[in-house]
């Protein structure tokens, strides 16, 4: 088995040199860890099955992940298996550990396949790791019968085979079709080419919309100032403190300041609003859209 670098080779040599546990020794170590939390027993059990973890990690190299990282994830799965293994069930640890190792590696591969999450449900995971294999098998079976499957027929058969919808098959095909590309990459090979992000449509307000909005806001401000000038000093003070401050004051605090009851302040406020509305309506009915 070939590995990427010296770290992999060292791990491989250590795994090959580890002892082979018989069923009795394996069970004894598992009981020691489960019942007594004997770390020496755990270390011996894990070390004995690192060769299994490395072997399974190597099967996922085709997905482009570094071998060191795959081995690390396989080790995490092996540790989880040791933590949850119940020797009373009468199965070998290796049989149980295979599922945890595989799940840990698969989760890692899917997390790192793309910046956009490829999928997390069991159906999506099954599609990710089996799509190409199932497609090839179905095409071989069709060819043996002298048939040719078009894309729609092939997707329909894959959906039935894996137990997912045709839409999920189409989505996974798209995700697996290419790698991530940066929006900051240039569209041309030379340095003067614009970046792809420059070609995206700007969904923000356009220049004409911004000018129109600014004009409307300025006109509304003029109307409001003119309406406020129609109030007496006490009414302007109440409106300013109640509606134009970042932290509006309460009726009670204004009443204490002005020597009035809270109810009287409320009445003055309502009268001021009525005057404002009448003044604004007189200037233009368009302002009603802002109220």
Domain membership of residue 79 as a residue range: 6-113
| Residue 190 covered by a domain | no
Q: Is the pTM of this model over 0.75?
A: no
Residue 28: pLDDT over 50: yes
Least confident of 15-29, 137-151, 188-202, 260-274: 188-202
| Residue 195 covered by a domain | no
Could you give the number of structural domains in the chain? 3
Q: Which residue has the tokens 């999920």?
A: 168
More confident residue, 192 or 79: 79
| Residue 199 covered by a domain | no
CA angle 113, 116, 122 (to 5 degrees): 70
The mean pLDDT of the chain is: 79
Return the pLDDT at 77.
93
Q: Which residue has the tokens 């990282």?
A: 69
Residues 40 and 108 in one domain: yes
Alpha carbon separation from 87 to 36, 70, 95, 98, 103 (Å, rounded): 14, 27, 12, 15, 21
% the chain with pLDDT above 70: 77
107 falls in which pLDDT band (50, 70, 90)?
confident
Residues 67 and 153 in one domain: no
More confident residue, 184 or 235: 235
| Residue 159 covered by a domain | yes
Q: What are phi and psi of 114, to 5 degrees?
A: -150, 155
**Contact residues for 92 (Cβ-Cβ < 8 A; gap 6+):** 23, 26
CATH of the domain at 100: 1.20.120.1810
278 falls in which pLDDT band (50, 70, 90)?
confident
Alpha-carbon span 117 to 175, nearest angstrom: 9
Residue 50: pLDDT over 60: yes
Reduced 3-state DSSP string for the chain? CCCCCHHHHHHHHHHHHCCCCCHHHHHHHHHHHHHHCCHHHHHHHHHHCHHHHHHHHHCCHHHCCCHHHHHHHHHHHHHHHHHHCCHHHCCCHHHHHHHHHHHHHHHHHHHHHCCCCCCCCHHHHHHHHHHHHHHHHHHHHHHHCCCCCCHHHHHHHHHHHHCCCHHHHHHHHHHHHCCCCCCCCECCCCCCCCEHHHHCCCCCCCHHHHHHHHHHHHHHHHHHHHHHHCCCHHHHHHHHHHHCCCCCCCHHHHHHHHCCCHHHHHHHHHHHHHHHHHHHHHHCHHHHHHC
Q: Which of 62, 82, 113 represents a domain boundary (last residue)?
A: 113
- Taking only the tens place, the pLDDT of each residue in 206-216 is 667 777 777 77
Return the pLDDT at 4.
45
| Residue 150 covered by a domain | yes
- Taking only the tens place, the pLDDT of each residue in 140-168 is 888 888 888 888 888 888 888 888 888 88
The predicted model gives 83-98 an average pLDDT of 92
Structure tokens at 79: 């540790």
Return the pLDDT at 184.
54
Q: Is the Cβ–Cβ distance between 280 and 230 less than 8 Å?
A: no
| Residue 198 covered by a domain | no
Q: Longest C-alpha distance within the chain, in Å? A: 98
Whole-number CA gyration radius for the chain: 36
């Amino acid at each position: 088995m070939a590995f990427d670098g010296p770290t992999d080779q060292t791990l491989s040599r250590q795994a090959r040199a580890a002892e082979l546990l018989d069923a009795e020794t394996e069970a004894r170590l598992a009981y020691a860890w489960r019942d007594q939390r004997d770390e020496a027993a755990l270390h011996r059990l894990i070390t004995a099955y690192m060769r299994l973890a490395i072997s399974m990690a190597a099967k996922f190299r085709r997905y482009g992940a570094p071998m060191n990282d795959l081995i690390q994830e396989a080790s995490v799965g092996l540790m989880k298996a040791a933590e949850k293994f119940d020797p009373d069930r009468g199965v070998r640890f290796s049989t149980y550990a295979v599922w945890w190792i595989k799940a840990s590696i698969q989760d890692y591969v899917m997390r790192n396949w793309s910046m956009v999450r490829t999928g997390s449900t069991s159906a999506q995971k099954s599609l990710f790791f089996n799509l190409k294999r199932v497609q090839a098998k179905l095409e071989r079976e069709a060819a043996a019968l002298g048939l040719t499957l078009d894309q729609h027929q092939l997707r329909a058969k894959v959906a039935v085979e894996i137990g997912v919808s045709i839409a999920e098959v189409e989505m996974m095909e798209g995700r697996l079709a290419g790698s991530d590309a940066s929006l900051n990459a240039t569209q041309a090979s030379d340095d003067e080419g614009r970046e792809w992000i420059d070609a995206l449509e700007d969904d923000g307000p356009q220049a004409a919309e911004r000018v129109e909005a600014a004009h409307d806001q300025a006109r509304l401000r003029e109307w409001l100032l003119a309406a406020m000038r129609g109030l007496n000093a006490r009414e302007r003070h109440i409106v300013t403190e109640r509606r134009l401050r970042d932290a509006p004051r309460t009726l009670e605090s204004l009443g204490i300041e002005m020597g009035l009851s809270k109810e009287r302040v409320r009445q003055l406020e309502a009268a001021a609003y009525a005057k404002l509305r009448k003044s604004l309506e007189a200037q233009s009915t368009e302002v009603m859209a802002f109220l």
